[in-house]
Structure 1
Amino acid sequence: MPTFIYPPSIPWNWMFQRPQQLLGQFSSSGHTVLYEDLGNFPHPRIRSLSSSLHLCQGISALEVSHLRPRILWLTVPSHINVISNYNPDLVIYDAVDEPKEEFASWAPYYPTILEKADLIFCSSQSIYNYFYPRHPQVYLVPNGVDYVHFSPSPTSRPKDLPMGKPIIGYSGAIAPWVDWELLKTVIQQNNDLNFVFIGALFQKYKFPLNFKNVYYLGLKSYYDLPTYLHYFDVGLIPFLLTEMTKGCNPIKLYEYYAAGIQVLATPLPELLPVPKINLESDSRLFSLRLRHLLTEKDSNKAERMSYAHANDWTQRSGRMLQQILIMTSQNQESV
């Protein structure tokens, strides 16, 4: 069976997102995954999370005995230049963001990606629209959710959640693409609500909001995250509408839905076809919609959770593995 190698890109335990989810799914299917963890490791080691999933902490994946074909899984465009270091049998680029604005530094690597990647997966329609006419093996695979992880109701309430008011929550990167100006207006208009933010600072030196009804709880472990989401009355996706975010397929949407909570977002292209979502871009209308969600009976919880269940990471990874195994088989037959 193929072995997947992921060069050092993001720490395994930091903002558990698409790379960790997919590679974890591949390992659950019996494929060996060698994840080169990012960080400073004074005592290099191989940390095995299962019999097939290994974190290479301060150690090259090539030092670990493994079977071929060797598949190099890339999500950072600049890593296209380190392909020769790994001598892979197959190079896969998983395109997760538009190479614009915050990620503009990615753009110069795209010609090389088109030349050297054997297979390209895309997390959004706009990213797919770029690669599809330019490469023979391109597939659209949006983000997803570990439904079993996020759907069960928690047994206890986190102690650092505020009490006494409805909770309007945000889970994700505290980043420049969040519409902080919109949030400032909405928060000031709703003093009787608590706004809770969970996530790591990204391209930000400090949390940008300072109001009495705002609580920044920092980054929570992936294990603990569902417990927080279940206490949100409304989940927020308040992103700016930019060239970069038009290619954003927010993982938090699926996680919110799996937890059963209502979602209020700005109208990102990837969110327009999502059932039972609430979309507003104007701060006044955003605030009015928020009040409406809190006062009206929620009759759509089952449909939201059903949508999340249909978009589980197992389904996503299965589609990817099908294409990967077809290509590896074809490559072996041509040798």
Structure 2
Amino acid sequence: MPTIIYPPSIPWNWMFQRPQQLLGRFSSSGQTVLYEDLGNFSNPKTSLLSPSLLICQGVSAMAVPHPRPRILWLTVPSHINLIPNYDPDLVIYDAVDEPKEEFASWAPYYPTIQEKADIIFCSSSSIYEHFLNKHPHVYLVPNGVDYVHFSPAPPYRPTDLPSGKPIVGYSGAIAPWVDWELLKIVIADNPEINFVFLGALFQLNKFPLKFKNVFYLGLKSYQELPTYLHHFDVGLIPFRQTEMTKGCNPIKLYEYYATGIRVLGTPLPELLTIPKINLESKPHLFSLRLRHLLAEDDMNKAERMAYAQANDWSERAGRILHYIFNRANTNQE
């Protein structure tokens, strides 16, 4: 079995995202995974999270004995320059965002990625279309969900959730790509609704909304996140429609659906084909649709949950490993 190395990119315990989800499942299927944690560690150490998943904190994965072939898994474009440090047998770039606007600094690295990556995986159709004619081994693998983690009904209600009104919630990065201007109008139009926001600040110095019916509860651990989502009446994906968000395949969509809640978002390209989703771009129409959702009976919960279950991270990881093994076997022939 190969060893997959992930250079320091995202702290293991910070906003459990695509890299942690996929790498965790690679290890569950028998691959050795060496995850170099991001941070300053005064006491360098390695920790086994499972028999084949090792977290390296202040320790290079190259200092840990491991079997070859060695696969370098990259999600930060500038890390394409780290290839000589790892002497990999296979280089994989997993593309999750468009190199535009907030991520414009990524663009200069793309020619080198196209030259040096053996396989490129893409989380959205627009990213896939960007690479498709520029590289011979490009595959579309959207985001997913840990269905078993999110679907069970929680045993308790978090004490910091507001009560007395319906809860419309957002889970994810508190970031510039959220349409805060749209939200200001929608929230002001709906004082009879509590709006709850969960997540870490990203490229923002402070939480941008101030209303009596808005509650910013900060970043919640991955373990407790489902407990909050199950108490949302509607989950929000209110992203601005930009060149960057054109390539967003929101993980929160799958997590919302796994809990069974209804979803209201802006019409991002990646959301247009999602069954039983609600999409509006204009603030007052968004507000009207929200009130309509809260007033009507929910007839589609089972269908949403079935969609989430069909898009589990295990399916995504299995598909990726299939592509990797095919490529590795081709290299050996």
Kindly provide the CA deviation profile for residues 52-107 of structure 1, in whole angstroms up to 9, marking residues without a partner as x.
01110000000111000000000000000110000000000000000000000000
Q: Distance in 1 between matches of 2:44 and 2:83?
A: 23
Q: Distance in 1 between matches of 2:89 and 2:330?
A: 12
Q: Distance in 2 between matches of 1:85 and 1:231?
A: 46
| Residue equivalent to 1:213 | 213
Q: C-alpha displacement at 1:332, in angstroms?
A: 2.7
Kindly provide the CA deviation profile for residues 268-323 of structure 1, in whole angstroms up to 9, marking residues without a partner as x.
00000000000000000000000000000000000000000000000000000001
The answer on 1:139 being equivalent to 2:144 is no
Q: C-alpha displacement at 1:18, in angstroms?
A: 0.3
Kindly provide the CA deviation profile for residues 157-185 of structure 1, in whole angstroms up to 9, marking residues without a partner as x.
00110011100000000000000000000
| Residue equivalent to 1:23 | 23
**Matched letter for residue 159 of structure 1:** T
The answer on 1:278 being equivalent to 2:284 is no
| Residue equivalent to 2:187 | 187
Root mean square deviation of aligned Cα:
0.5
What is the TM-score when the length of structure 1 is the normalising length? 0.99
| Residue equivalent to 2:110 | 110
| Residue equivalent to 1:12 | 12
1:1-335 correspondence to structure 2 within 5 Å = 1-333=1-333
**Matched letter for residue 94 of structure 1:** D
Kindly provide the CA deviation profile for residues 194-242 of structure 1, in whole angstroms up to 9, marking residues without a partner as x.
0000000000011000111000000000000000000000000000000
Q: Any idea what SS the aligned residue of 1:49 has?
A: strand
Q: Distance in 2 between matches of 1:282 and 1:57?
A: 46
Runs of 5+ in structure 2 lacking a partner? none
What is the TM-score when the length of structure 2 is the normalising length? 1.00
Q: Distance in 1 between matches of 2:133 and 2:107?
A: 17
Q: Distance in 2 between matches of 1:3 and 1:150?
A: 29
Q: Distance in 1 between matches of 2:79 and 2:53?
A: 21
**Structure 1 consecutive aligned stretches of length 4 or more whose deviation exceeds 4 Å:** none
**Matched letter for residue 139 of structure 1:** Y
Q: Distance in 2 between matches of 1:215 and 1:65?
A: 48
Q: Distance in 2 between matches of 1:198 and 1:114?
A: 36
Q: C-alpha displacement at 1:328, in angstroms?
A: 1.4
Q: Distance in 1 between matches of 2:135 and 2:264?
A: 36
Q: C-alpha displacement at 1:47, in angstroms?
A: 1.1
**Matched letter for residue 112 of structure 1:** T
Q: Any idea what SS the aligned residue of 2:133 has?
A: helix
Q: Distance in 1 between matches of 2:97 and 2:224?
A: 26
**Matched letter for residue 238 of structure 1:** P
Q: Distance in 2 between matches of 1:138 and 1:117?
A: 10
Q: C-alpha displacement at 1:331, in angstroms?
A: 1.9
Runs of 5+ in structure 1 lacking a partner? none
Q: Distance in 2 between matches of 1:222 and 1:48?
A: 19
State the identity as a percent: 77
